[in-house]
Structure 1
Amino acid sequence: MYPTETAKSFGIFVKNQVEALRGRGLHVDVIAVTNPRTDKVNVLTKYILWLLRTLIHCVTKGRNYDVVHAHYVFPTGMLGLWYKKWWKAKLVVTAHGGDIDRMANKSGRIRQWTTTILREADHVIAVGHKLAEQIRNEFGVPEENVSVINMGVNRRIFQPLDKEEARKRCGIGEHEIPILFVGNIIRQKGLIELVEAFSKLKKEYPSVSLYLIGAKKDNAFYHELIHRVKEAEINDVHILDAMQQKDVAVWMAAAEMFVLPSHLEGFGLVALEAMSCHTPVVGSRVGGLAYLLGDGAGVLVEPGNPDSLFEGMKKLLDDAALRKQLVQKGEARAQENDQERIIDQILQLYDRV
């Protein structure tokens, strides 16, 4: 995945890493899918073209590379193996979560391919601790061949702003209490539960408003979500298109809380970005989010459970001292996961392989 002017958020975390590596003096070439559409014709077309482009590139220029870094295990890692087998390039694979939790379970053949890629790679990066455990335990990858390195937060973009000023820039009303979600508008992000929990919260806090920012990756689900909102007669739910990171950062700084009720999440980088903007986070107890928000850094709720989500959001609104604590702990998490520190770890890894 890689973003374009028309699909600004599509794989933006990969582009951020590429630009950071280039900033350290590395020569980085990118072969990626830039079309975010998920209908059958587009999926077949874009992946066939990507495969052919990679094959031609590997044959004509493959000998030029010291390291091939594949994001997502399958199918990207399989293409990365061409460079390793034909030209002896070192292969580093970053697993993001969906490639292990969903893609590897689509069929026995894909699971076998996933296992082959993980075992033959020179090193595997997992974006979260639970994901690393899965890779070691379920796929038999030696512990020394797996590192936990997330994508890192760009603190030059995601930084705290004066809330009043940020809300003016976003057009948020003076008396609103804005709650924010950022991510793809898909079922797996827990948006049905979020709307249900918000409806309940609205009865106790009439001033709350809900903003959902993201790409409408599943048109049928988007219309289902809209129908749920209308059917329940919930006011103040706003769905905005995906936007550039610098604009997302302003919305994060403006929000009273950030909510990420995902059913699964490899790391939850978007939650870390909110923490970097000094906005407290409510998130599901899944995958990397459980680690990121653990030890009092966020409010953890049960996935797929609107009542638990409501309680978590209410707890945060009711407790000013808790909000202050989460901002402080969130700042510490953001410092630990600053993109520049993450790039140092990746460069050390490249040297090691």
Structure 2
Amino acid sequence: MSKRVLVISNMYPSRKNPTYGIFVRNQVEALRKKGLKIDIAVNRDNRGGKLNLLKKYGRWFLKTISKLPSGRKYDVVHAHYIFPSGLPALLFKKLFKTKLIVTSHGGDLDQMAKKSPLIRKMTGYILQEADHVIVVGEALKQEVTGNFGIPEQKVSVINMGVNRKVFAPIDAVKAKQELKLAPDRKHLLFVGNWIEAKGLRELIEAFQRLNVKREDLELHLLGSKKSEQFLEELEASIEQANEDRIHFHGPKDQKAVGKWMAAADVFVLPSYIEGFGLVALEAMSCHTPVVATDVGGLSYLLKDGTGVLVEPKSADSLEAGLEQTLSDESLRASMVEKGEQSAGENDEEVMLERIIDLYE
């Protein structure tokens, strides 16, 4: 008999914010396709600011609590993000003895738990009470077992997995043509939110310096702006010579992102923190070399020459890494080969089976 699952998440996509917590929805839909009965209690509002935060979390909390009367029908409650999602999830465990699984995606440990002693305490309590903890990367496992004292057998490293049908290697020349990208230029791609913590200041600085030497580069940024002010600051830092070389494209759906990744000559992810770095794995699945910072899950994902790791917050190191990747053909070929192997090991299908095992 298939399990009935309630998924609680403080991030989930909407028509207005199609990429907000997209990885949670992808997992939910993939599990439904495997026959699991899944209900959701999710927050789709990505607005910041204190007043908005109170409003959106208040609404989401009420929506979640409204599931309590039918709480007995759930075998498992699965919370994405330890805090705040783990709090309402804990109610189901306490009231109905429902099995509680929490997934840490990184931000909940790297940022949220550090906001106040109370949030850290709540995070620890939720981790202790959970029946099982999923983390998306090795560094997070060390944090959960080391800093929060959770027994190792209660923690599994299961990332969100890469959808190899969507992120597939297609002919780069053809992909460039379809996206109307200049065939005689090298195209660098970033996918993610346009925020400071993604290292975009350093990226634009490194790109501009490198393009002075090469003059054949273009940089494409796909994603959502979180702050008008930060985007204006980035645009103001673009020199006149590069105004037609740096492009802000806005958010794209998964299929379009897959095509952009296949078309790109290098994928770059200069984040300051990264729980796992699924987006880098997606690029590897499209046979595109990756240059990323040596932080969090990326340190593990790109080790042993699977990608080029650079120092975080350093435009110099990023520039050197990009230059090396663009100019060394044998290095690129080796990265593509190792990236393919890693994408195969982290196939979404493999990861889903591991989650279903935990539910059972």
**Aligned residue number for residue 87 of structure 1:** 96
Which whole-Å deviations, capped at 9, do the CAs of 1:141-183 have from their partners, x for residues lacking one? 1111111000000111000111111011112112121000000
Give the secondary-structure state (helix, strand or coil) at the position aligned to 2:66: helix
Task: Determine if the alignment matches structure 1 residue 313 to structure 2 residue 322.
Answer: yes
**Aligned residue number for residue 254 of structure 1:** 263
- Supply the distance in 2 between the matched residues of 1:211 and 1:243 (Cα, whole angstroms): 12
Matches within 5 A, 1:64-103: 64-103=73-112
Residue identity in the other structure for 1:272? L
Residue identity in the other structure for 1:129? E
Which whole-Å deviations, capped at 9, do the CAs of 1:243-276 have from their partners, x for residues lacking one? 1000000000000000000000000000000000
Shift of 1:80: 0.6
**Aligned residue number for residue 177 of structure 1:** 186
- Supply the distance in 2 between the matched residues of 1:88 and 1:117 (Cα, whole angstroms): 15
- Supply the distance in 1 between the matched residues of 2:343 and 2:349 (Cα, whole angstroms): 11
**Aligned residue number for residue 26 of structure 1:** 36
Which whole-Å deviations, capped at 9, do the CAs of 1:212-254 have from their partners, x for residues lacking one? 0001012221111111114786550001111100000000000
Cα gap change, 1:230 to 1:200, in 2 (>3 Å): closer
Q: Which of the numbers 150, 155, 172 marks the counterpart of 2:164?
A: 155
Q: Which of the numbers 10, 16, 19 marks the counterpart of 1:9?
A: 19
Task: Determine if the alignment matches structure 1 residue 44 to structure 2 residue 54.
Answer: yes
Give the secondary-structure state (helix, strand or coil) at the position aligned to 1:297: coil
**Aligned residue number for residue 168 of structure 1:** 177
Matches within 5 A, 1:57-136: 57-58=67-68, 60-136=69-145
- Supply the distance in 2 between the matched residues of 1:136 and 1:234 (Cα, whole angstroms): 48
**Size of the alignment, in residue pairs?**
350
Kept after mapping to 2: 8 A contact 1:128/1:287: yes
Give the secondary-structure state (helix, strand or coil) at the position aligned to 1:239: strand
TM-score by length of 1: 0.97
Task: Determine if the alignment matches structure 1 residue 285 to structure 2 residue 287.
Answer: no
- Supply the distance in 1 between the matched residues of 2:307 and 2:185 (Cα, whole angstroms): 22
Give the secondary-structure state (helix, strand or coil) at the position aligned to 2:306: coil
After the TM superposition, which of the residue ranges 224-233 and 147-156 deviates more from structure 2? 224-233
- Supply the distance in 1 between the matched residues of 2:92 and 2:230 (Cα, whole angstroms): 39
What residue ranges of structure 1 are gaps of 5+ in the alignment? none
Give the secondary-structure state (helix, strand or coil) at the position aligned to 2:284: helix
Give the secondary-structure state (helix, strand or coil) at the position aligned to 2:190: strand
Once superposed, which parts of structure 1, at least 4 consecutive aligned residues long, lie more than 4 Å away? 230-235
Kept after mapping to 2: 8 A contact 1:199/1:234: no
- Supply the distance in 2 between the matched residues of 1:284 and 1:307 (Cα, whole angstroms): 12
Kept after mapping to 2: 8 A contact 1:130/1:288: yes
Kept after mapping to 2: 8 A contact 1:2/1:14: yes
**Aligned residue number for residue 351 of structure 2:** 342
Percent identical residues: 51
Give the secondary-structure state (helix, strand or coil) at the position aligned to 1:28: strand
Give the secondary-structure state (helix, strand or coil) at the position aligned to 1:150: coil
- Supply the distance in 2 between the matched residues of 1:159 and 1:113 (Cα, whole angstroms): 41
- Supply the distance in 1 between the matched residues of 2:240 and 2:100 (Cα, whole angstroms): 51
TM-score by length of 2: 0.95
- Supply the distance in 2 between the matched residues of 1:9 and 1:162 (Cα, whole angstroms): 26
- Supply the distance in 2 between the matched residues of 1:171 and 1:254 (Cα, whole angstroms): 10
Residue identity in the other structure for 1:314? E
What residue ranges of structure 2 are gaps of 5+ in the alignment? 1-10
